Amino acid sequence: MIPFEQALSIVQETISVARPGPQTESVRLDDSAGRILAGDVAADRDYPPFDRAIRDGFAVRAADLASLPTVLRLHGEVRAGQHFEGEVQAGECVSIMTGAPVPSGADSVVMMEYAESRGDGVEIRKSVHSGENLVSRGSEVKAGERVLERGQRLGPGEIGLLATVGKNPVAVFTKPRVAVLATGDELVPVKARPKSFQIRNSNALTLGALVTDSGGTPLLLGVAPDRVDELRTLIQEGLSADLLLLSGGISVGKYDYVARVLAELGAEFYFQGVALRPGKPLAFGCVGKKPFFALPGNPISTFVTFTLFARPALSALGGAAFAPALFLRARLGESCSQKGQLSVFLPARVEQQGSEPVVSPVKWQGSGDLVALARANCFLVLHPHETHLNAGEWVNVLPKAGCG
């Protein structure tokens, strides 16, 4: 059993060596959310493409406002989507709306509330410096400069930027194919009516949703029974994908055959067991160059180990960077203790209380409690050295996938 940080480092190193170069495809911009950009994108022109007013008011020459109040001759009006023909001369101003291009000759904008009409002129009561209340042409980015890098995941902001620079369609990496195989004679399909000693196959659907949320394409292989031959056949099918995820059957029980079958298929195990709760039985390795994760069978263990290890691996397989889970900070709502030298992830809720986030564990009955997982919006993280923490201390929090 190895520490969480060491296990994560092994996954990162292995994936960086094992992954093949992902293929690319072209997609419409409105279908690109969550995809990974396959090449750098440059600005097609200066942004903004003109000196842009950021206030309603009057475009002026700052030098004309050395003595106040002063009256400037109103020379016209310009609004967003229009262009002022002409030039602002000394002693003149132009009425301007937010977003409009600042006319030639003007170098600043006086806000509307500091001006008042006086016949065919405007009385200005406040001075401005050159460049005030406008954004200069090219100050955001110059034509030809890179605005997005290969490997970036496309969210709403990135898609808006691609639209701005006219990049439609856009080249992205193809989604990694991820085989999902749940194991165990106790599992039945979701639509089935389970007997008293059976449970529905929730892990496959959970993992499928996590894979989709992580930018992959899930291939659900059903349930592998606790029989070596059938398990081997399904694992071999799963190894045709870019990544194989198994859940259950990885411990040392009499009918836990996953490690045995993987070994018979030539698997190299890089670790079997992580100092983690929940999720200690986690195994990771490769069959040839195909990576696999053998995740624990309990649902919260499956969820946590996917989030910590499989999600960043899947990101790298899809053409993005290997991005470990991001821990945030919050105040502890109640004291917590743990035994043993483990990294512990407790289902929890973080809420804003006043000016600070406060996190408290939700009541749970162990790593099979999906009700507790549904109530949680994060995991409270206790590191190995944190055997006791008092209420009010700052602690790490892992946001729950699917909670924004």
104 and 234 within one domain: no
CATH of residue 152: 3.90.105.10
pLDDT tens for 356-396 read: 999 999 999 988 899 999 999 999 999 998 889 999 999 99
188 and 284 within one domain: yes
pLDDT of residue 338: 87
* Burial (CB count <10 Å: 0-12, 13-18, 19+), residue 252: exposed
340 and 257 within one domain: no
361 and 282 within one domain: no
Token couple for 169: 């369609």
CATH of residue 354: 2.40.340.10
Q: Report the distance separating Cα 394 and Cα 380, nearest Å.
A: 11
Total structural domains within the chain: 4
The residue from 149, 173, 197 where one domain ends is 173
Nearest residue to 309 via CA among 282, 345, 327, 289: 282
Kindly state whether residue 223 falls inside one of the protein's structural domains.
yes
164 and 179 within one domain: no
Yes or no: say if 350 and 378 are a contact pair by the CB < 8 Å rule: yes
Residues with pLDDT less than 70, the chain: 19, 252-253, 255, 402-404
Host domain of residue 281? 4-22+174-317
CATH of residue 255: 3.40.980.10
Kindly state whether residue 89 falls inside one of the protein's structural domains.
yes
Beta strands 328-332 and 356-361, pairing class: parallel
For residue 143, the tally of other CB atoms under 10 A from its CB is 13
Which H or E element spans position 245?
strand 243-247
220 and 308 within one domain: yes
pLDDT of residue 231: 94
pLDDT of residue 201: 85
pLDDT of residue 186: 82
pLDDT of residue 122: 97
Token couple for 207: 């993992």
333 and 306 within one domain: no
Kindly state whether residue 404 falls inside one of the protein's structural domains.
no
Kindly state whether residue 302 falls inside one of the protein's structural domains.
yes
178 and 168 within one domain: no
pLDDT of residue 256: 80
131 and 107 within one domain: yes
233 and 149 within one domain: no
pLDDT of residue 255: 59
Nearest residue to 210 via CA among 291, 309, 127: 309
Kindly state whether residue 9 falls inside one of the protein's structural domains.
yes
154 and 119 within one domain: no
Rg (C-alpha) for the chain, rounded Å, is: 30
Nearest residue to 345 via CA among 312, 382, 400, 395: 382
pLDDT of residue 402: 67
CATH of residue 83: 2.170.190.11
Q: Report the distance separating Cα 93 and Cα 75, nearest Å.
A: 6
367 and 252 within one domain: no
